[in-house]
Structure 1
């Protein structure tokens, strides 16, 4: 079975890389973003029923497998409510059937230090994967949309 396509948004590239690696084999981070401006530009293209390849995607660290629409967008803890809402609101016309994940920041106390990017990425990937599995994202009877905290 093919991995479920998702998008991952986080501020630190090394952590993003580790999250992408550790989401496999269940989930494929097809596109990774690390700022609001690029997210606002790329997300509406990626979340259409027939995903469109964003400009400059050749250098994107995601798998770049744009053959299927992503089913979830996982957003990291750097992005506050205003930034999250700005990204999500840009996608209102195309985000039907998309699960949005945000971190429960009260759980950050139990996370490894941000300075240990590998350990932090592993822990973040585990939290994202656990929530996606709990929601059944990619399964016929799974959750198909909404904002959920992990």
Structure 2
């Protein structure tokens, strides 16, 4: 699963050493832009990060962990304004922590979509963000509108973008042949699960298009 443009992702894990290694080994397919090492930090940093626009001038919140490319947002030469398209969970997370982060991110994404719809509906010329390699893989695409605003563009703005939540648990690592937290194995499992999630999203988008065509 190699792409010309790395897919930006956020990571929630509790071992900074493993997280650092995973960040390195996910390249070049994925760009880990933000790493959180505990729940309070994740709930504080991830929602505004996912609610951000990749075209605005506001710097995303730098990770308290110091890990990920957002750690360099204070350096103009290394500025990043990328919005992650997935959250990778790895390393001793609980079900409650997983659901808390998922719920917080989904609320932020939904609120951002509502805000986008409200702002674009007041302009006679609107355009969705251009599609990227990563966006195409995740079943999203850019759409421009002309004078008066297209209903297609409005519909795209109203629908929250897809975010994948990929978790790697101890049993996944064991099943992949490792008896401990091996970063190579963790990344292998991440890639496999992400590919499955992307494939599922693409099938759902295609099914929806076919359903709309029928009606």
CA distance in 2, matches of 1:59, 1:108: 24
| Partner of residue 100, structure 1 | 165
Structure 1 runs of 4+ off > 3 angstroms?
Answer: 56-59, 140-144
Change (3 A) 1:46 1:68: same
Which ranges in structure 2 are unaligned for 5 or more consecutive residues? 71-78, 110-159, 206-215
Q: CA deviation at 1:7?
A: 0.4
Counting matched residue pairs gives 136
The structure 2 residue matched to 1:37, chosen from 35, 40, 49, is 40
Change (3 A) 1:32 1:58: closer
| Partner of residue 20, structure 1 | 23
| Partner of residue 47, structure 1 | 50
Change (3 A) 1:91 1:14: same
| Partner of residue 67, structure 2 | 61
Note the alpha carbon deviations across 1:10-66, whole angstroms, 9 max, x for none. Answer: 110110011111110010000111100100001101111416511x54862102263
Bigger radius of gyration: 2
Note the alpha carbon deviations across 1:66-119, whole angstroms, 9 max, x for none. Answer: 3221110001141110111112222232244110011244334332324xxxxx
Q: TM-score, normalised by structure 1?
A: 0.77
Higher relative contact order (CA 8 A, sep 6+): 1
| Partner of residue 7, structure 2 | 4
| Partner of residue 123, structure 1 | 185
8 Å Cα contact 1:135-1:142 kept in structure 2: no
CA distance in 2, matches of 1:143, 1:40: 29
Instruction: Judging by fraction of residues, say which structure has more strand.
Output: 1
TM-align CA RMSD: 2.6
CA distance in 2, matches of 1:84, 1:12: 16
Secondary structure of the corresponding residue to residue 34 of structure 2 = strand
Q: TM-score, normalised by structure 2?
A: 0.56
Change (3 A) 1:83 1:67: same
Which ranges in structure 1 are unaligned for 5 or more consecutive residues? 115-119, 145-150
